[in-house]
A and B are shown apart, each in its own frame.
Chain A
Amino acid sequence: MAELSNYLPGVMSKTETELREIFLDQVNAVPAGERIKRCIQCGTCTGSCPVSYAMDISPRELIALFRAGEMERIMKSRTIWICASCYACTTRCPSGIKITDTIYALKRTAMEKHLETTAPQVQTLASLFIDNLMRYGRLHEGTLIRRYYTKTGVWKFLDLIPLGMKMWKTKRIAILPKKIKAHASLSRIIKKAQDIEIRHMKEKLEYAPEFVGYRGLGDMKLEQRKGEQS
């Protein structure tokens, strides 16, 4: 069945199984993350999203695709990278689904698998941001922007010159980054947290073809709603 799985409707491929495994792990780390099961496909999220017009897959469709076993398509979308995390969807969802946090979980899944995406600049910014934080303990915007544009398009610097001048005139530029005093201690904390994450990563997955569904969330208990029978 393993070889056939790509052709059988409703059966998940190996990549799909792997991606779901990681994603569901991430969802488990979101408080009330399991409510993703409650989606009624009403589209309130999409209607509330200020950037859904620029997405290739709407937030509602994300959940539908996840249900249908199309994680690979989700991973290739620009949707998860264009989410500005404004939480408009989360506060309006009638089923209480943590949509923004779920999109974070999808981002982390893609980052963990080092997948190629349609919006590599977001990962570039994220990794430079983190590098900046690790080096100094605080963010130095000047360094971050300089390195970001060096990687994504040096010509964009020209665009920034007038803005830089204004910032200089109003004394809003710190030329050199400053390290925090307890930098060594912060680095130890980060190192340890990284070790813990690696420790939690699953051993190599054993693949057995399965039908799509909420596997992995199955044994999670949903909180009971008012008037609901157990």
Chain B
Amino acid sequence: MKYAYYPGCSLEKTQRGYDESVREVFKTLDQELIEIDDWNCCGATVYMSVKETVSLAVSSRNLALAEKMGLDIMAPCSSCFTVLSKTNRVLNEIPEMHQDVNEALADGGLSYSGKTNVRHPLDILMNDVGIDAILKKQKQNLNGLKIAPYYGCQIVRPDKTFDDHENPVLMDRLFRKCGGEMVYFPMKVRCCGGMLMTTFEETALKLNKELLACAQDNGADVIVTTCPLCHFNLEAYQDKINKKFNTHFNTPILYFTQLLGIVFGLPPKTIGLDSSFIPLGQKISSLTETHYA
């Protein structure tokens, strides 16, 4: 299958590990990703809180470009995923808004019907590609690696999406099949605070401390994420959390596509494992060394 790939701003550089691993994993599975030419920022949750019509028009431009390509749009960033889905919902449910947005898009020589499907890579991997096709490409068993699957908020909420609101299971299913051990992780959909790390740091540090503690207490070797913002908050602020709460967290954080890359036996550099701030630890390193010593 072919998909219109919408990386989003954070995947361009600061979260290159996600971008690189998504591309490599999809290549391995013979799925074609065509990056939307000249896409723009979706506006994230920030724009929505300021101007409605403008924010909808900004994100609709990307949906219109994907519509021209005749493909489903694939957005790995949870924030992009939610904003694009929400734009679709508003345009389809409020005709006046749809009309306004199209009036604005016309000034850029575009129009949008409201029909582009917005997909997350986890959804595509499990529902389009399927677990059987994935297992066919498996080269490395996860050898009981203890995994805390962290889904975050924005891919399972607010609307009916591809997994459950309270207890999503797709990642659990995927990595259990690959030989991983999923630890008890009741905070799998609890919020990391997102942008609060910039605006209300103290609150966000507490939220992330709770997430890290929950994973550690349940014996996780790694936390696997699906969202660049969750990933950054959990990874980059561990030092600060340790200092503030007198803890000793040193938990590696990986994107689910990076872990899948390890399962496929892809070279660590091609899936961005070299971009991690936290040492991956002996257990994960031994999984990658088997193929590329």
How many Å lie between the Cα of A167 and that of B258 in the bound state?
18
Residues of A with C-beta under 8 A to B34: none
Residues of B with C-beta under 8 A to A163: 236
Complex: chain A residue closest to B274, CB-CB: A170
How many Å lie between the Cα of A189 and that of B43 in the bound state?
14
Q: Is the CB of B90 within 8 A of A31?
A: yes
Say yes or no for B276: interface residue by CB 8 A criterion. yes
Q: Hey, what's the 0/1 contact readout for B185-223 against A, CB within 8 Å counting as 1? A: 000011101111011100100010000000000000000
Partner of A88, one of B45, B52, B157, B198: B157
Residues of A with C-beta under 8 A to B105: 189
Q: Is the CB of A189 within 8 A of B107?
A: yes
Interface centre among B44, B57, B90 (most CB of A within 10 A): B57
Say yes or no for A23: interface residue by CB 8 A criterion. no
Q: Is the CB of A108 within 8 A of B199?
A: no
How many Å lie between the Cα of A48 and that of B79 in the bound state?
20
Say yes or no for A51: interface residue by CB 8 A criterion. yes
Q: Is the CB of A130 within 8 A of B90?
A: no
Q: Is the CB of A50 within 8 A of B108?
A: no
Chain B min CB distance to A40 (Å): 20
Residues of A with C-beta under 8 A to B100: 193, 196
**Interfacial residues of chain B within 231-248, with CB under 8 A of chain A in the complex:** 236, 239
Complex: chain A residue closest to B12, CB-CB: A174
Q: Is the CB of A188 within 8 A of B38?
A: no
Say yes or no for A66: interface residue by CB 8 A criterion. no
How many Å lie between the Cα of A129 and that of B90 in the bound state?
23
A166-B277 contact in complex given A84-B196, A188-B108, A194-B54, C-beta closer than 8 Å: yes
Say yes or no for B101: interface residue by CB 8 A criterion. yes
Say yes or no for A171: interface residue by CB 8 A criterion. yes
Chain B min CB distance to A133 (Å): 5
A107-B108 contact in complex given A82-B200, A82-B203, A189-B58, C-beta closer than 8 Å: no
Say yes or no for A111: interface residue by CB 8 A criterion. yes
**Interfacial residues of chain B within 1-28, with CB under 8 A of chain A in the complex:** 9-10, 12-16
How many Å lie between the Cα of A104 and that of B86 in the bound state?
13
Say yes or no for A26: interface residue by CB 8 A criterion. yes
Residues of A with C-beta under 8 A to B166: 91
Instruction: Give the interface segment out of A68-76, A117-125, A203-211.
Output: A117-125
Residues of B with C-beta under 8 A to A180: 38-40
New A-B pairs, 10, CB < 8 Å, besides A84-B195, A139-B10, A145-B198? A30-B90, A32-B93, A88-B189, A91-B165, A129-B44, A172-B16, A173-B14, A180-B40, A193-B54, A193-B56
